[in-house]
Structure 1
Amino acid sequence: MSLLLKWLESMHEDLRITNNCSRKRNIRSTCSLCFESCNSSALAINPHSIEIDPERCTSCGECLINCPLSAIEGIAVTREFEKNSLLYKDDFIPTEKELMIYKKRGLNSITFNSAPLNQAWKIVLDETNRMLSQVDQSPIEVVQSEFDEKLSRRTLFTSLQSGGKKLAKSMAPASWKMEANEWNLANYFPEYQFYTVEMDKNKCTLCKACFTFCLQEVFHIKEIFLHIESEKCVNCTDCTDICPEDAIQIKTKIKKKSDLNEPIHTMKCQDCGRFFHSFQAERNKCPICINRAPDWLSPYQ
């Protein structure tokens, strides 16, 4: 039945880039992970977006899986599962992120038939299992299939006649069909953080541009603190791309989640009279007035 499901799903799955894409929201975005992961040259970077060429797209799902913001909708049709095992094929290489998400959704092993895992798969699997050990998860094993599933021509046509595409889709393993927003690694390991967001207080003016563009809502002002929730970070780099002061760094490291609270001050701007936040108690102008040319009229007067 898996051959039938693969064939039918490959006909109906068109990948689509949603408005969550950094390129569509942030003119300064440098994100290109989906473009870099596409092996069929189906993605093109435009001045304000990334577009998918449906004629070239094979619906392999590589871009969908690699997008840090889960901004691409569709199904990775090249992946096949047998119960709680991913079937090995050498025409694609999974990522550590992908395998870790599968693990949290019930994956126990990778199954191969005659040919064992190639070196690229082994490298990814070894790194995944190293990461899994850091988040208190058991490793993903490699097992050999006891038999090869075969689908006769009669079974194929009987299945088509008895229900067609709709029936076939309903018989596919539902637990492996994931929507765009389900490819967020942070959602599966809420007690850990995979990235640490650091703010250079000597550079940051707390203009809050990063607040606006961060879809994960990593940054918050809470009373007299800047609250940074690094466990929500997916390394989309929206904050580092938009920051005019180059004051943000994202460091890759797995550890128990630890929110950061940086002390801040509430000040009143001497030019416009508006209240603003600052790391420096001696600052007397808000970010807008600091960056406003002296010969410009104040927008608040």
Structure 2
Amino acid sequence: MLENGYVLPTVAELLYYHKKGIRSIHESSVNEELSEVVSRVNNILAKMELEQLSFVEHVEAESEHPQMISRRAFFARIGSNSKNTVLTSLTPIKWRFNEHSFKTSNLFKGWSFFKIKLNHEDCTLCKACFMICPSDVFRIAEDSLKLTDHNCCGCRLCSDICREKAVQITDNVHISEEESFSLVQANCKKCHTNFPSWKGAEELCPICSSGDKPNFFL
């Protein structure tokens, strides 16, 4: 799977390879950095009770060991349909346009790879995290705030933008779950618009209570 002069694969890439059927990594001289990445991947696979990756020094004939292949053999064996899919995803220049192919939550349905902790006592429901999140983790449905950790890609933009530091993201492989927080609708006495509230006791919406317009994206 790896040859001389290779670029060290990421955890997401190795999980992608695993999903495509790769179980062994051909590497005659395993370095410490690669071992660390593979160890992280195997810890994730172990939590999902899936077969782990291993290192092999020699690649046998494909007919005998179809799951132990070199990178050259990997591209040679895939058919025309799968070739288009895999090559498009693995080509470096295409990475930015095919990131969903490597998104771990898309590869392993029913599993979440990050834990989202929301401190609603500090959260002002300003919705900055809603707007900046690329994965639709946060959403308001009628009278509740839904957090879908399965969608989280671990970018941590939500925790970075939160001025109240009310959102925390940690690496945590677990069965997916959706967390729900109860909300009530309040009416701002200054701008007279309705806004979601934790208790309904707030007299001003987050924008009016801040004294100025939010500058999250300036």
TM-score band by shorter chain is 0.7 to 0.9
Q: Which has the larger radius of gyration?
A: 1
The residue number in structure 2 matching 1:131 is: 44
The residue number in structure 1 matching 2:12 is: 97
TM-score w.r.t. the length of structure 1 is 0.56
Shift of 1:234: 1.0
Residues 245 and 143 (structure 1), Cα distance of their counterparts in 2 relative to 1, 3 Å cut: same
SS in 2 for 1:87: coil
Q: 1:184 aligns with which of 89, 97, 103?
A: 103
Give the conservation status (yes or no) of the 8 Å contact 1:88–1:117: no
1:239 lines up with 2:158 in the alignment: yes
Per-residue CA shift, 1:167-209, capped at 9, x if unaligned?
xxx7994453213432212211121111111211111111111
- Return the letter of the residue paired with 1:123: E
Across the aligned residues of Structure 1 and Structure 2, the Cα RMSD in angstroms comes to 2.4
1:281 and 1:126 map into 2 onto residues whose CA distance is: 48
Shift of 1:266: 0.8
Q: 1:205 aligns with which of 115, 119, 124?
A: 124
2:134 and 2:124 map into 1 onto residues whose CA distance is: 21
Give the conservation status (yes or no) of the 8 Å contact 2:124–2:206: yes
How many residues are matched?
186
Shift of 1:88: 4.3
Residues 284 and 172 (structure 1), Cα distance of their counterparts in 2 relative to 1, 3 Å cut: closer
The residue number in structure 1 matching 2:30 is: 117
SS in 1 for 2:136: coil
Residues 172 and 276 (structure 1), Cα distance of their counterparts in 2 relative to 1, 3 Å cut: closer
Give the conservation status (yes or no) of the 8 Å contact 1:225–1:264: yes
1:228 and 1:263 map into 2 onto residues whose CA distance is: 12
Per-residue CA shift, 1:89-123, capped at 9, x if unaligned?
464322222211211122121113xx332222222
Give the conservation status (yes or no) of the 8 Å contact 1:193–1:230: yes
1:273 and 1:127 map into 2 onto residues whose CA distance is: 51
Give the conservation status (yes or no) of the 8 Å contact 2:26–2:59: no
TM-score w.r.t. the length of structure 2 is 0.76
1:146 and 1:99 map into 2 onto residues whose CA distance is: 18
Give the conservation status (yes or no) of the 8 Å contact 1:105–1:175: no
The residue number in structure 2 matching 1:283 is: 202
List alignment gaps of at least 5 residues for structure 2. Answer: 61-79, 90-97, 214-218
Residues 273 and 171 (structure 1), Cα distance of their counterparts in 2 relative to 1, 3 Å cut: closer
- Return the letter of the residue paired with 2:187: K
The residue number in structure 1 matching 2:75 is: none
Residues 289 and 224 (structure 1), Cα distance of their counterparts in 2 relative to 1, 3 Å cut: same
Shift of 1:292: 2.1
1:141 lines up with 2:48 in the alignment: no
Residues 180 and 192 (structure 1), Cα distance of their counterparts in 2 relative to 1, 3 Å cut: closer
The residue number in structure 2 matching 1:230 is: 149
2:206 and 2:10 map into 1 onto residues whose CA distance is: 41
2:114 and 2:81 map into 1 onto residues whose CA distance is: 38
Residues 89 and 280 (structure 1), Cα distance of their counterparts in 2 relative to 1, 3 Å cut: farther
Q: 1:258 aligns with which of 146, 162, 177?
A: 177
- Return the letter of the residue paired with 1:138: E
Give the conservation status (yes or no) of the 8 Å contact 2:114–2:170: yes
Which structure 1 residue ranges, 4+ long, deviate > 6 Å from structure 2? none
Per-residue CA shift, 1:24-74, capped at 9, x if unaligned?
xxxxxxxxxxxxxxxxxxxxxxxxxxxxxxxxxxxxxxxxxxxxxxxxxxx
The residue number in structure 2 matching 1:55 is: none
